[in-house]
């Protein structure tokens, strides 16, 4: 790890060390930082990276400038770009965050990464270059390496998901995470549904497993079992394929619960195109309570997890950790069923 020198508390790294790591002269190092000389951008980049890795900075003013407020917060999204485009969840989240940032002149630095390693490397750079004041973390996972990393980097952060104010990186989200799914199950059982399928997200995400367990527990408590649980990558194609597979069953489900509204909209369209009526033939439930659910006919039954409010609360808490007077970051609320027109009595 290039960052060992920082961790092991050795003497402050020298310009000689930076030059050695970058394979250049010390003169080249100061040229890189003074933006003088005839260095190629590649060489310059290599030198700046070496300095960053070693934790070396050329002067107090430069260090001070790096440590100055950037009025920028980072949001790193670990999603395929096509899903980002297709899933309004993220524009809802960004809207909630921006609603707090914009009035304070803060900006949101959005980065897309393919995996958690790339995400970690990015935080190392953003911290070393002083590009952001803090970070909003999404998609908490088991054995998540990010809280320890950001603590080591001294970068304030909050984690979207289960509320956990005492964690090194405090969690921001609605309490009773599974509660919404529990209400969905009760709602469908109350309508007489017994063959209920669940179209879930990626298995490695905490909220996927949490909601799936809550779905299965809710049915089991009533003496039933899931018709099926299908995992997806949240993409349109996966949602359509899952829906078609379920509806093609000999004795198909009378209700399908989707892990987000976008997939539920795909599910309604797929069912309607196959000649089924929603909800007369099959009931459909989403999750997120995005605006689109209100636009559709039938209006989408979903779970309101207050994406915008959670984003806003996360922004307020992070702003407070960055030294801003950001108001109350508490969220009083829990995911709640929003029963609309896409669910109805089970067909006989």
Interface residues with its own copies (CB under 8 A)?
33-36, 41, 44-45, 48, 58-70, 72, 74, 81-82, 84-88, 90-92, 94-96, 98-99, 101-102, 105, 107-114, 122, 125, 129, 131, 236, 262, 265-266, 268-269, 272-273, 291-292, 294-297, 299, 308, 323
Tell me how far, at minimum, the Cβ of 68 lies from its own copies, in Å. 7
Q: Select 162 or 312, whichever has its Cβ closest to its own copies.
A: 312
Tell me how far, at minimum, the Cβ of 217 lies from its own copies, in Å. 30
- Strands across the sheet containing 228-231: 228-231, 196-200, 255-258, 283-285
Q: Select 73 or 219, whichever has its Cβ closest to its own copies.
A: 73
Tell me how far, at minimum, the Cβ of 233 lies from its own copies, in Å. 14
Q: Select 301 or 308, whichever has its Cβ closest to its own copies.
A: 308
Distance CA 329, CA 316 (A): 5
Cβ neighbours of residue 36 closer than 8 Å, sequence gap 6 or more: none
Tell me how far, at minimum, the Cβ of 161 lies from its own copies, in Å. 20
Tell me how far, at minimum, the Cβ of 41 lies from its own copies, in Å. 6
Q: DSSP state, 164?
A: B
Q: Select 72 or 206, whichever has its Cβ closest to its own copies.
A: 72
Q: Select 185 or 338, whichever has its Cβ closest to its own copies.
A: 338
Q: Select 85 or 145, whichever has its Cβ closest to its own copies.
A: 85
> Residue 61, class by beta-carbon neighbours within 10 Å (0-12 exposed, 13-18 middle, 19+ buried)?
exposed
Distance CA 120, CA 213 (A): 29
> Residue 29, class by beta-carbon neighbours within 10 Å (0-12 exposed, 13-18 middle, 19+ buried)?
buried
Tracing tokens 């969690």 back to the chain, one arrives at 171
Q: Select 76 or 158, whichever has its Cβ closest to its own copies.
A: 76
Q: Select 305 or 308, whichever has its Cβ closest to its own copies.
A: 308
Q: Select 183 or 262, whichever has its Cβ closest to its own copies.
A: 262
Q: Are strands 302-304 and 336-338 parallel, antiparallel or unpaired?
A: antiparallel
Distance CA 188, CA 251 (A): 18
Distance CA 273, CA 263 (A): 15
Q: Which long-range contacts (CB under 8 A, 24 or more apart) does 205-210 make?
A: 205/139, 205/141, 206/139, 206/140, 206/141, 206/142, 206/161, 206/162, 207/140, 207/161, 207/177, 208/259, 210/162, 210/177, 210/178
Tell me how far, at minimum, the Cβ of 48 lies from its own copies, in Å. 7
Tell me how far, at minimum, the Cβ of 43 lies from its own copies, in Å. 13
CB 201 within 8 A of CB 139: no
Q: Name residue 158's beta-bridge partners.
A: 136
Q: Which helix (H) or strand (E) holds 80?
A: none
Tell me how far, at minimum, the Cβ of 7 lies from its own copies, in Å. 22
Tell me how far, at minimum, the Cβ of 201 lies from its own copies, in Å. 17
Residues recorded for the chain: 348
């Amino acid at each position: 790890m290039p960052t060992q020198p920082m961790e092991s508390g050795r003497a402050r790294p020298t310009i000689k060390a930076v030059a050695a790591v970058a394979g250049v002269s010390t003169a080249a190092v100061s040229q890189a930082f003074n933006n003088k000389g005839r260095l190629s951008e590649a060489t310059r980049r290599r030198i700046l990276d070496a300095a960053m890795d070693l934790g070396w900075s050329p002067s107090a003013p430069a260090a001070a400038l790096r440590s100055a407020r950037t009025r920028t917060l980072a949001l790193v999204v670990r999603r395929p770009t096509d899903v980002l485009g297709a899933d309004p969840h993220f524009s809802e989240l960004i809207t909630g965050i921006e609603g707090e940032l914009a009035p304070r002149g803060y900006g949101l630095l959005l980065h897309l990464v393919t995996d958690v390693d790339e995400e970690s490397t990015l935080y190392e750079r953003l911290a070393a270059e002083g590009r952001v004041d803090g970070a909003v973390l999404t998609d908490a996972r088991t054995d998540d390496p990010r809280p320890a990393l950001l603590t080591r980097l001294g970068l304030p952060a909050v984690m979207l998901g289960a509320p956990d104010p005492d964690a090194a990186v405090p969690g921001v989200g609605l309490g009773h995470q599974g509660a919404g799914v529990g209400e969905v199950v009760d709602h469908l059982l109350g309508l007489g549904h017994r063959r209920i399928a669940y179209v879930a997200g990626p298995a490695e995400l905490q909220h996927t497993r949490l909601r799936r367990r809550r779905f299965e527990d809710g049915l089991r408590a009533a003496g039933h079992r899931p018709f099926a649980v299908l995992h997806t990558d949240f993409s349109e194609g996966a949602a359509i394929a899952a829906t078609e597979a379920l509806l093609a069953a000999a004795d198909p489900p009378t209700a399908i619960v989707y892990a987000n509204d976008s997939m539920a909209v795909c599910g309604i369209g797929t069912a309607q195109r196959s000649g089924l009526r929603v909800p007369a033939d099959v009931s459909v439930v989403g999750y997120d309570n995005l605006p689109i659910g209100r636009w559709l006919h039938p209006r989408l039954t979903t779970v309101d997890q207050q994406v915008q409010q959670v984003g806003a609360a996360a922004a307020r808490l992070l702003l407070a950790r960055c030294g801003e007077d950001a108001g109350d970051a508490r969220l009083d609320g829990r995911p709640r069923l929003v029963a609309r027109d896409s669910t109805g009595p089970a067909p006989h």
